[in-house]
Structure formats: structure tokens, C-alpha cells
Structure 1
């Protein structure tokens, strides 16, 4: 039963990754700043390039979550590789929150006066909070898993 549920969660992660790639390709074409631009200039906009560069970290975190589910499916969750995957997810979530705040500050500072970026700023704030929550959860799970591994190795040494 565990293999089915981890396989399902891995499939969900793949679907999330595919939907994210689709959004990264499709959104710049319909975004308001791109209405008078040709195809090349749409994708070389500094903010779009920033989002694409930042999304690499997001996809690394998805890959590490996929690997972590693989460790769970193989019954090797109490391994150093699982701890490393959680650590990577934590660092990716912290980096994503910093990059989101940086993007929000960029829009706030360099946005034209006649436009109100309040909606975008709120989305940045919410997304940064979600990233911090993910980083906190990953840090807690990493610590718990490391403690469990330490206890397991102590018990194996005493036997």
C-alpha cells in the first residue's frame, strides 16, 4: 500500500512540475506588459528572465521531494540521503522566499507611477510566507529524521 501512495504523490509532483512549466511558457504571452511586443522581446524581459532563473530552484526542490518520496517507497527513509533531501528542500524554500521578496521589491521600486502593484505585492508576500512555512516544516522534519537516525545507529551499536 505504501508504494501505491508514494507513487501517487510522485505523480502529483510530476503533474505540478508540468503545470508549472506550462505556466512559465504561457503566462508571459498573456501578461499585460507583453501586448505590444514580439515573441522574442516577450521572453527577454528582465522580470521574466528573473522568474525563469528563480524557477530553477523551485524545480530542484520538486526533484528533491520526488527523491524523498522514492526513499519512502523503498523503506529507506531513515537514511542520510533522506536527510540531505530535506535539507535541500529547506535551502531551496529559503532561497525562493528571498527571491520572491526581491522580485516584489523590484516591482515596487521600478513600477510606473500610474499603475498600482498592490495585488502583485500581496501575492509576493503570501508566496514568501508559504515558502518560509515550507522551509520551517522541512527543517523540523530534517531534525526529527536526523534524531531518529542517530537513535537507530546508537541502538545498532549497542546490540
Structure 2
């Protein structure tokens, strides 16, 4: 049953990645700043390019989560590579939260006075909060896992 749940979670991560990629490709064509632009100009818009650059941290964290589930499936959860993977997830979430806050501040400061940025800023607040929660959870799991590895190595030395 353990193997099935790990495969299910890995499939869920892949599905999240596919949906996020589809949103990144489709949404600029229909919404917001680029709704009236031609196909070439849409993908040269600086804010859309910033969104794509920001998504690199998101996809890196998804990849690392997929990799961590692979370690769990191979019973290598108590290894330094699993700790490094959790550390990478933590850093990706922190970088993502800073980049989202920067985008929110940019929109807040430079938006057209006729536009209402409240919806975008609400999305920024929620996604920043989620990224901070993910970073905190990864930091806690990293610390717990590192302590477990240290205790295990101490017990191996005394035997």
C-alpha cells in the first residue's frame, strides 16, 4: 500500500505541474495585460516574462518534491540526500515568496489609477502565505530528519 500511495502522490505532483504549465501558456492569451496584444508581443511583455522566470522556482520545488517521494519509496528517507532535497524545497519556497511579493509591490506602486489591483494583490498575499508555509514545513522536516540521521549515526558509532 505504501508504494501505491507514493506513486499516487508523484502522479499528483506531475498533474500539478501540467496544470500550472497549461495555465502559464493559456492565461496570458486571454486575461489581463496581454489580452489585446498579438501572439508575438504577448510573450515579450516584461511582466509575463517575470511570471515565467518566477515559475522556475515553483517547478524546481515540484521536481524536488517528486525526488523526495522517490527517496521515500526507496527507503532512503534517512539520508543526507533527502535532507538536501528538503533544504532545496525550503529555498525554492523562500525565493518564490520573495518574487511574488516583489510582483505585488510592483503592481501596487505602478498600476494604472483606473485599474483596481485588489484581486491580484489578494492572490499575491495568498500565494506568498502558501509559499511561507511550505518553507516552514520543509525547514521543520529538514531539522527533524537531520536530527534523526545524527542520532542514527551516533548509535552506529557506539555499537
What is the alpha-carbon distance in structure 2 between the residues aligned to residue 91 and residue 132 of structure 1?
10
| Superposition deviation, residue 3 in structure 1 | 1.2
1:48 counterpart residue number: 48
What is the alpha-carbon distance in structure 2 between the residues aligned to residue 144 and residue 32 of structure 1?
43
How big is each residue's C-alpha offset from its partner over 1:84-135, in whole Å with a ceiling of 9 and x where there is no partner?
0000000000000000000001111111000110111111011111111110
1:25 counterpart residue number: 25
Aligned pairs for 1:86-125 within 5 A: 86-125=86-125
Q: 4+ runs of 1 displaced by more than 4 Å?
A: none
TM-score of the superposed pair, with normalisation by structure 2: 0.98
What is the alpha-carbon distance in structure 2 between the residues aligned to residue 152 and residue 104 of structure 1?
45
Two-structure CA RMSD over aligned residues (Å): 0.7
TM-score of the superposed pair, with normalisation by structure 1: 0.98
What is the alpha-carbon distance in structure 1 between the residues aligned to residue 144 and residue 154 of structure 2?
15
1:136 counterpart residue number: 136
Where structure 1 has 5 or more consecutive residues not aligned to the other structure, the ranges are none
| Helix, strand or coil at the partner of 2:114 | coil
Confirm or deny: 8 A CA contact 2:28 2:35 kept in the other structure.
Answer: no
| Superposition deviation, residue 35 in structure 1 | 2.7
2:16 counterpart residue number: 16
What is the alpha-carbon distance in structure 1 between the residues aligned to residue 149 and residue 108 of structure 2?
46
| Superposition deviation, residue 157 in structure 1 | 0.8
